[in-house]
Amino acid sequence: MFGFRGQGKGLAIAAVLIGLTASAKAGDDRVLYASLGDVTRAPIGWVEFCAETPGECRGGASQPRDIVMSQAAWRDLLKVNRWVNETIKPMTDMDHWGVIEKWSIPTDGYGDCEDYVLLKRKMLIDAGWPREALLITVVRDKKGEGHAVLTVKTDKGEFILDNQNEEVVAWTETGYRFVKRQSQGDPNVWVSLGDSRPAVSTASAR
């Protein structure tokens, strides 16, 4: 249960999780990114985040699993994406923490793009969704700036939860260039998606 500074209505993550269910299946790690390649470095901030919150980074090899995209699962993705986007207020890591890059679950109600992603991922995992289908992904946005989103792998394709978009869309509809993402087989292994330039994420909300 998280409290959010400035949220006088007593918003609680648990309220959003009521009724969140999704069946998952073991399946092939089907490659939908044409440039999906080699193992690469974790994004700046991930290793430190894992050191501070090891429970969020439990790894080890596991079987890739995709979500079965039912109508209920789709509604749940929309609900989580919109709720987090509306609840968390954008703030750069420099303004928030006094450092250029810091990953954290935004329990105080403020964060930048990767913090939105961490909260959405946590909410879905806590609701029973398989970690293997929820992949933190680093992209370059339409301005060429580094940005973080959550990729959800499903039997209907790969969909993106994004703090810059209230809707959940297929990865092909984002207009982004994909840099790297977590491996389905191990959350602490990152795989290249083609754009090898360093990408530091930002706090922009829209």
Range of the domain at 87: 22-192
CATH number at residue 44: 3.10.620
pLDDT value at position 60? Answer: 74
CB 72 within 8 A of CB 187: no
Burial class from Cβ neighbours inside 10 Å (0-12, 13-18, 19+) for residue 99 reads exposed
pLDDT value at position 27? Answer: 37
pLDDT value at position 145? Answer: 93
> Is it the case that residue 18 has pLDDT exceeding 60?
no
Residues 6+ apart with CB under 8 A from 83: 16
> Is it the case that residue 9 has pLDDT exceeding 80?
no
Q: How confident is the model at residue 206 (pLDDT cuts 50, 70, 90)?
A: very low
Residue 10 is assigned to a structural domain of this protein: no
Residue 5 is assigned to a structural domain of this protein: no
SS3 of 129-158: the string is: CCHHHEEEEEEECCCCCEEEEEEEEECCEE
pLDDT value at position 178? Answer: 95
Render pLDDT for 58-114 as a digit per residue (tens, 0 to 9). Answer: 877 788 889 999 999 999 999 999 999 999 999 999 999 999 999 999 999 999 999
pLDDT value at position 37? Answer: 65
pLDDT value at position 130? Answer: 93
> Is it the case that residue 15 has pLDDT exceeding 80?
no
pLDDT value at position 61? Answer: 73
Residue 129 is assigned to a structural domain of this protein: yes
Strands (E), 13-145: 24-26, 39-40, 65-67, 89-90, 110-111, 134-140
What is the average pLDDT across 51-64? 86
Give the count of alpha carbons within 13 A of 44, CB side only. Answer: 13
Render pLDDT for 31-49 as a digit per residue (tens, 0 to 9). Answer: 344 345 689 999 999 999 9
Nearest to residue 200, comparing CAs of 133, 154, 147? 147
Give the count of alpha carbons within 13 A of 74, CB side only. Answer: 10
Residue 188 is assigned to a structural domain of this protein: yes
Residue 115 is assigned to a structural domain of this protein: yes
Residue 6 is assigned to a structural domain of this protein: no
d(CA 139, CA 200): 10
Q: Read off the pTM.
A: 0.79
> What residue has token string 């390649």?
37
CB 122 within 8 A of CB 88: no
Residue 199 is assigned to a structural domain of this protein: no
Domain count across the chain: 1
The tokens for 18 are: 């009521």
Q: What backbone torsions phi and psi does residue 86 show, to the nearest 5 degrees?
A: -80, -30
CA distance to 31, 46, 47, 118, 164, per residue, from 101 (Å): 30, 10, 12, 14, 19
> Is it the case that residue 204 has pLDDT exceeding 70?
no
Render pLDDT for 143-189 as a digit per residue (tens, 0 to 9). Answer: 999 999 999 999 999 999 999 999 999 999 999 999 999 999 899 99
pLDDT value at position 63? Answer: 83
Nearest to residue 27, comparing CAs of 201, 113, 153, 205? 153
Beta bridge partners of 19: none
Residue 178 is assigned to a structural domain of this protein: yes
